Amino acid sequence: MPSSNNPLVAPVLKWVGGKRQLFETFKPLFPKRISSYCEPFLGGGAIFFRLQPRKAFVNDINEDLMLVYRMIRDDVENLIAALSTYKNDAETFYAVRDLDRDKEIFARLSDVERAARIIYLNKTCYNGLYRVNSAGEFNSPFGSYRNPNIVNAPTLRAVSKYLNSADVTLTAVDYAEVLSAIPKQTFVYLDPPYYPVSTTANFTGYVKGGFNRDEL
């Protein structure tokens, strides 16, 4: 990892299976020079943001997640302003969470408002768990945290600056489509969803419809 990398460029969301704590373990396995990087299952992006490649193709099938990254890149100041309006209490949380129950109201939200909603829910829901039901509605409960960092402006601005200064392609498509289109000699970091070890450990609610064994 180049010494010039900005330490403020870091994950802005909690995400199941994040590898922030394992970066140093993985580091010897990475090429010394990465001219082109690809991560088809981006999630919280811990490895991507530590490496900060100058050319990258990053993807996640979760469209809400990738919308967050696009708005951080394209409209970070309005995103920060939207986040600043939220309160850390159960009444606000459930009102914001349940916006997607009314499809007409939800459709009228701007991209910035939708992205801010996802960040807010992620910071204040139980265990930062992004989970949707069979109708695609966010259904994690309120986390009751005393002082969650809802508006992490320095990190949001640093990530925005990086995404605008590097050649980063953001997509929300099937991972096979991403892998079929990347240039030769691209380094690919694959971190797909985990197959559950038991019924109680089963978590497939990243997107509407979840995923099954055939997709792993």
Which CATH number characterizes residue 53's domain?
1.10.1020.10
pLDDT range class, residue 117, cuts 50, 70, 90: very high
Average pLDDT on 96-112 reads 97
Shortest CA distance to 216 belongs to which of 40, 48, 45, 64?
40
Give the lowest-confidence range in 142-146, 171-175, 205-209.
205-209
Domain of residue 63: give its range: 20-215
74 domain residue, yes or no: yes
The C-alpha atoms of residue 59 and residue 192 are separated, in whole angstroms, by 11
Residue 88: what pLDDT?
97
2 domain residue, yes or no: no
Count H helices, E strands: the chain? 9, 4
Contact 82, 112 (CB under 8 A): yes
Single-letter amino acid code for the residue at 149: N
Instruction: Give the end-to-end CA distance of the chain in Å, rounded to a whole number.
Output: 29
The C-alpha atoms of residue 3 and residue 5 are separated, in whole angstroms, by 5
The C-alpha atoms of residue 106 and residue 110 are separated, in whole angstroms, by 9
7 domain residue, yes or no: no
Residue 203: what pLDDT?
47
CA atoms within 13 A on the CB side of 205: 15
pLDDT range class, residue 196, cuts 50, 70, 90: low
pLDDT at 197 over 80: no
Residue 190: what pLDDT?
94
4 domain residue, yes or no: no
Contact 172, 59 (CB under 8 A): yes
- With residue 58 as reference, give the H or E element that holds it: strand 55-59
Burial call 121-143: b when 16+ CB within 10 Å, e when fewer: bbbbbeebbbbbeeeebbbbebb
Residue 18: what pLDDT?
85
95 domain residue, yes or no: yes
CA atoms within 13 A on the CB side of 74: 11
The total of structural domains in the chain comes to 1
Average pLDDT over the chain, rounded to whole? 91
pLDDT range class, residue 214, cuts 50, 70, 90: low
Tokens of 55: 């050319």
pLDDT at 118 over 80: yes
Average pLDDT on 121-134 reads 94
141 domain residue, yes or no: yes
Residue 192: what pLDDT?
84
Average pLDDT on 139-166 reads 97
Give the lowest-confidence range in 72-76, 180-184, 189-193.
189-193
Identify which has the larger pLDDT, 196 or 50: 50
Contact 128, 12 (CB under 8 A): no
pLDDT at 109 over 90: yes
114 domain residue, yes or no: yes
